Amino acid sequence: MGVQSMYQKFYAARSPKDAKTAVAIWIVGTIVVESIVIAIAVYASSYNAEHNMGWDPRSLVLNAARHMVPGPVGILLLGAACAVVLSTGMNYLLSSSSNVMRDIYQRFVNTDADPTKMVALQKVFVLALGVLAFLLIFVPTYFKLQISVLQYAYFAYTIYGVAVTPALFAALTWKRATRQGGLASIVVGTLATVFFEVVLPRIAPGVIEGAKGAGAAYFGGDPWGIPSIYPAAILSIGALVVVSLLTPPPTEEQLAPLFGEKKM
């Protein structure tokens, strides 16, 4: 629910009916695909433990495609994985460049910007952000630090999960949630993820299982064998609940767009 590009696709629908149909198909497709991926990961995990392959738990599906199935099937699986990475990258670039244009440029720099010029300028931001993303991989690789696109994607989705999704879900389901609580959840969730994924491996590499040297502890890893999404989610949701309960509740006018008008 926290992936912004998903909502961009829904908003591109020609009508609300088409958007609802797309959501229904997306839900079914997600259940089917994720169930298959989980099954492959579970089987690959058993194979990894049985044969002492030493695979990274986050790349079990990729290793299964490479080592555990016939060549043609493995090629299809790896091709699907590449398609996921490419589509994710394009979605990130589109979402981030749209944020720059709408939330910064059009709001603070040029409120009456010409749509044609905005499209051209957004293409420039797409290119600039793409180069920046490349440098995020190239620079650590140049200095022989342990880093990968997979780790970056895991980091990004962890932030989505703990910083965006709780606030969004609360806004849609909990009438007592407040703007301050949502903001606190976003800030705490983001800071907690950065701490567990970036800061802690640098200041205490010993807590990362399998870390060997400072380079191995540069980024990622699960402190004490616990995926960082769990402690970060607890802190984020805790901040959401506590701050919401300590701040004034939303007014009926603020709740009306989400929950409908209150019946008299």
Pairwise pLDDT comparison (127 vs 208), residue with the higher score: 127
Q: Are residues 117 and 232 in the same domain?
A: no
80 found inside a domain: no
Q: How confident is the model at residue 185 (pLDDT cuts 50, 70, 90)?
A: very high
Same domain membership, residue 150 and residue 205: yes
**pLDDT tens across 71-127, in order?**
898 898 888 888 887 887 788 788 888 888 888 888 888 888 888 888 899 899 999
Contacts of 136 (CB under 8 A, 6+ apart): 152
Looking at the structure, tell me whether residues 116 and 186 fall in a common domain: no
User: Are 105 and 121 within 8 A, CB to CB?
Assistant: yes
CB neighbour list of residue 179: distance below 8 Å, 6 or more residues apart: 250
Q: Please indicate, yes or no, whether residues 149 and 252 belong to a single structural domain of this protein.
A: yes
Both 130 and 184 in one domain: the answer is no
Q: pTM for the complete prediction?
A: 0.68
Task: Please answer whether residues 63 and 44 qualify as being in contact, where contact means their C-beta atoms are separated by less than 8 angstroms.
Answer: yes
User: 3 lies in a domain?
Assistant: yes
Q: Is there a single domain that holds both residue 107 and residue 202? A: no
Residues 19 and 59 placed together within one structural domain of the fold: yes
Do both 227 and 175 map to the same domain?
Answer: yes
- Residue 81 domain flag: no
Please give the average per-residue pLDDT across 198-223, as a whole number.
Answer: 63
Q: Is residue 73 part of a domain?
A: no
16 part of a folded domain:
yes
Tell me the average pLDDT across 31-38: 90
Phi and psi for 126 in degrees, rounded to 5? -60, -45
Q: Looking at 128-132, 178-182, 205-209, which range is the least confident one?
A: 205-209
Percent of the chain scored above 90 by pLDDT?
25
Asked whether the beta carbons of 223 and 200 are under 8 A apart, the reply is yes
Q: Are residues 96 and 189 in the same domain?
A: no
Same-domain check for residues 52 and 115 = no
Q: Establish if 79 belongs to a structural domain.
A: no
Find the domain containing 7 and state its range.
1-68
Distance, CA of 226 to CA of 217 (rounded, Å): 15
Give yes or no for residue 215 having a pLDDT over 60. no
Task: Say yes or no: 7 and 119 in one domain.
Answer: no
Is residue 74 domain-resident?
A: no
* pLDDT tens digits, 225-242: 788 889 999 999 999 999
| The predicted structure's pLDDT at residue 264 | 46
List phi, psi (to 5°) of 63.
-65, -35
DSSP secondary structure letters along 14-77: SSHHHHHHHHHHHHHHHHHHHHHHHHHHHHHHHHHHHHT----GGGHHHHHHHHTS-HHHHHHH
Q: What is the number of structural domains in the chain? A: 3
- Assess whether 250 and 174 both reside in one domain: yes
Q: With beta carbons less than 8 A apart as the criterion, state whether 143 and 213 touch.
A: no
pLDDT the model gives residue 57 = 79
